[in-house]
Structures are given as structure tokens and as C-alpha cells.
Structure 1
Amino acid sequence: MSIAKIRGRARGAGSEFVLACDMRFASREHAVLSQPEIGLGLVAGGAPTHHLPFLTGRGRALEIMLTGQDYDADLAERYGYVNRSVPDASLDGFVDDVADRIASFDKAALVEVKNFVGEVSLPSHELQAPTSAAFWASATRPAGRRRLAAAKERGLGRPGDFELRMGRHLPGLDRETGA
């Protein structure tokens, strides 16, 4: 059983990591989730295209993947991106209580329930390789290279407004790069 506790930004690979967890709980005041790759001219490579539709539904998965917007914890909860949005002051205790409760139950029963739920709600592992290949191919295309370079110039990977509000900056890369 894997439980993600999100108290900050989980974008791109960070989002893909938490999507691979069994449950996700987010700080109402501090969590931000997104799949910004589209704004960088990339195809997300960690299979969010396969995980998100199971969690959020097709339309919302497409919205998340095709807009590159940032989602606060409350909207992420309404969409199914996270299980629950919790006040930050209560997040640690809440997640500990969930984990302790689950850990108190019969392990064999937990495994069986998790396996049965997974059979109908998880994407096939065979989908990972094509997704990864699409990511690397998109990173070598001219548009992807231009948009990544523009994002780095604007502050990608460095403390500042671009990282804090990436979802708002991505559409501007189109005008600046001509991509």
C-alpha cells in the first residue's frame, strides 16, 4: 500500500509519482498538482495519460493533460486527482491515522482487495514503454527544444514566479517561441 502526502508542488514527474500511489492526500493550503508537459512541447512520459482517466474521467484527464494548468488541492479533490484535500495543520495526523488503520487489518485481505480493485482500475504495465518513448521523442522535436529553452530562460527549475505559477506562464511560451 502506498500513500502520498502532498504538501507542495507535484508537477510532471512528481505528479506521475503520486498518481502511481494507491492513495493521495493533499495540503489544502500548499499542494499544487499539474501535468505541464504540453506547455513545454512534450508528451508526459510517466503514464499520467493512463492513470488520470481512471481517477478523474476522460474529460477531466484531457483537461489536466492538454491545458498544463496548476490545480490546487480543493479542485484536485473535486476532480479525483487526489483522494482528499486536508487542512495543512491536520495533514500529518490524518495520513498517519489512515495508514495506522489500514495497517491494523488482516494483510491477506488487504492484498486481495487491492488486487481486485487494481484489476478494474489500473492501466496495463505494457502502456508504460510507449508513453516513455513518446516523451523522449517529443523532447527531441524542434518545438519541444524551443519551448524547454524558453521555459528555462523564464525560470524553469529555479526559485521564482515561473516555478510558483508555471501553469500561468506556459501559454506565453507559444508567443515567445513561435512554437
Structure 2
Amino acid sequence: MLVGASNGVDIDYHAFPITAAPADGRSRFLLAVFLLRSGGDGTVRFGARPDDDPVVTLPSLPADADRRFRHAFDKLVAWQQTDAFLELGAEQQDKIDLAAPDAVRQSLERHLFSYAHMVGTCPMGPVLDADCRVHGIVGLRVADGSVMPTIPSGNTYLGCVMIAERIASKMKAAG
């Protein structure tokens, strides 16, 4: 369930129910905050042998991650003080004081993970024409997230489908 949705630029808030039955029988959920525009570049490299898995290196957090997450943590603190949240009887399992000055750094050190919506890892703009044809290679087109000049803040699936549909229709029209 998406809560608060994206601010359209940088931060995404999510609430996930935890479905595994805990020993004490109490329901649990996870509030998660995601930085959508980290600004860093990762890499994808081939393995040494053709049958090796690719080696994916995610980008490092930007230097201003603490500042950018601070606003999100302040929002979580405000949510924890609402009547609706208090009526749940929810308790914070991780005992980081979200309002503390070093809360962001503590949380990042303990709980950092990827959103796993990597896209556009190989920017293709200068390699393609406006119809996504690869310059210098007849009959080869690229129709995926790599052609997006700016990656949207959020899921990219529908954008990739739209690109593929448009290129397919152009190819069909061209015969």
C-alpha cells in the first residue's frame, strides 16, 4: 500500500503489512522511506565468462542524503503522533528516536537497501535517433528505459511499455 505517495521529486513513503505471524500474535507493519533520485551512477559489467551473471554495482548515497531524508523522518514523526496511528497501539520496534539529530545516519547505517527499480543503467541518447534506431546498425532498435532522457520518480514499467508500443507501431507502419 502506498501511503502519502511520492512528492513527485525525491521521496516515496510506503506502509507494508508484515504477514508472517509473530510469536506474540501481534500484527506488524513496516513504514519505509525511499530516496527516488539518488543522482549516483552504478555499473553493470559482464562476468569473465559468457555464462557468468552480470556484476551490478549500485550507486553510493549522495553526500546530502541526511538532509534529504530528514524531511521524510520529520513526516514519520508527525504520523506517529496522529490519533489514527496512536489508536493502532503501534510501537516502534527499532528504538531509533526519529526526531534525534543523528536519526537519519543511524537508520541508514542499520537499514539501507535498494528500491530495486533500476532503469536506464546504460543511457542511450547519443547512440539512437528519434525512432530509437541505433546509429550505424541497420535494423537494430532499443526500446526500453534506457531511452528515457529523464527517469521518472516512481515505477517505470508503464513508461517502458509505452516506449515499446510506440516503437512497435512505428516499425509496423514502416512495413
Is this a same-fold pair by TM over 0.5? no
> What TM-score do you get using the length of structure 2 for normalisation?
0.25
Compare relative contact order (CA 8 Å, sep 6+) and give the higher one, 1 or 2: 1
Tell me the TM-score normalized by structure 1: 0.24
More helix by share: 1
Which one has the largest radius of gyration? 2
